[in-house]
């Protein structure tokens, strides 16, 4: 059986370690950290997992070295592990950043590693159970054919799959991940205070909003985002827009207006020659709200 080494016991590193250890297909998952003691996490109760303080040469049958560290630390870590000796036969080294090129792993490549980028398209928080996020997920990979083969094997152990991202388009792909990870929580964070004002008991906002989101995602999965957006715009009601804007104030009003403008833009309401992104019946209402 093979092993996997993960540098960085942060959110993503620990989630990957737990997912890989739970696969039952690896002899060991070694997690390397810069503190003498491992963080408190249930992954270290699994028999396949071992914490390593500092660095050490990797075992002969190591499948992959994953650098789950902040972007600024990747070059230093790459140098540090390259100095541990030649790569085990067939071992690949990946960093998890969408913004860094694989060139930062040049020291590891010189030591015999296949190198590339292994970017899980999942959101992982500090909460336990992050390994569940990988089931059915896709992982964007930039690597040589041999490196891609290793990445596919890793993804399979996690319960996911891979897709190839050309090196020249990786930052663009990472922007997509950032949009999806960041904007939805922002939208929900704006909706929760409104439900408080509606009179929903504290703590029940998620019970109301999450099923709504699931229904929207189900529609997108069945019909595609363009059709879902078309349905949304067909239901657009100018009178409802006016009532909603009057009921809202401050940041909530501006957020609603901005999102309505984006919906209009994406649905094709914008006129190429005009300086508006909304039908004229809506434009003045939204512009007023955005100026407030």
Residue pLDDT, tens place only, 141-169: 999 999 999 999 999 999 999 999 999 99
Looking at the predicted structure, is the pLDDT value of residue 67 above 80? yes
**What is the structure's pLDDT at 237?**
63
Round to whole Å and give the CA distance between 111 and 101.
Answer: 18
Beta carbons of 44 and 114 less than 8 angstroms apart: no
Beta carbons of 88 and 62 less than 8 angstroms apart: yes
**What is the structure's pLDDT at 275?**
35
Beta carbons of 167 and 191 less than 8 angstroms apart: no
Beta carbons of 122 and 145 less than 8 angstroms apart: no
pTM recorded for the entire structure: 0.82
- Segment 72-110, tens digit of pLDDT: 999 999 999 999 999 999 999 999 998 898 899 999 999
Torsion, Cα of 195, 200, 204, 208 (10° steps): -60
Min mean pLDDT across 45-59, 95-109, 177-191 is at 177-191
Instruction: Please name the residues in contact with 256: beta carbons below 8 A apart, sequence gap of 6 or more.
Output: 244, 245, 248, 289
């Amino acid at each position: 059986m093979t092993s996997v080494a993960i540098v960085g016991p942060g959110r993503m590193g620990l989630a990957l370690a737990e997912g890989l250890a739970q696969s039952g297909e690896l002899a060991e998952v070694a997690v390397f950290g810069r503190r003498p003691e491992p963080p408190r996490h249930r992954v270290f109760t699994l028999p396949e997992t071992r914490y390593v303080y500092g660095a050490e040469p990797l075992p002969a049958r190591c499948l992959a070295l994953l650098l789950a560290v902040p972007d600024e630390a990747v070059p230093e870590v790459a140098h540090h592990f390259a100095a541990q000796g030649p790569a085990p036969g067939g071992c690949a080294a990946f960093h998890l950043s969408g913004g860094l090129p694989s060139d930062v792993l040049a020291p590891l490549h010189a030591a015999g590693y296949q190198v590339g980028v292994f970017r899980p398209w999942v959101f992982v928080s500090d909460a336990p159970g992050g390994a569940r996020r990988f089931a059915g997920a896709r992982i964007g990979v930039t690597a040589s054919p041999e490196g891609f083969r290793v990445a596919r094997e890793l993804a399979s152990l996690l319960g996911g799959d891979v897709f190839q991202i050309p090196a020249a388009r990786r930052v663009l792909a990472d922007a997509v991940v950032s949009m999806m990870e960041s904007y939805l929580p922002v939208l929900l964070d704006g909706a929760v205070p409104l439900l408080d004002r509606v009179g929903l008991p504290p703590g029940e906002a998620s019970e109301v909003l999450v099923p709504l989101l699931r229904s929207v995602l189900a529609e997108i999965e069945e019909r595609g985002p363009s059709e879902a957006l078309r349905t949304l715009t067909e239901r657009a009601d100018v009178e409802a827009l006016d009532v909603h804007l009057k009921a809202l104030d401050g940041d909530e009003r501006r957020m609603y207006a901005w999102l309505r403008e984006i919906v209009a833009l994406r649905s094709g309401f914008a006129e190429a020659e005009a300086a508006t992104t909304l039908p004229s019946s809506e434009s003045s209402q939204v512009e007023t709200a955005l100026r407030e």
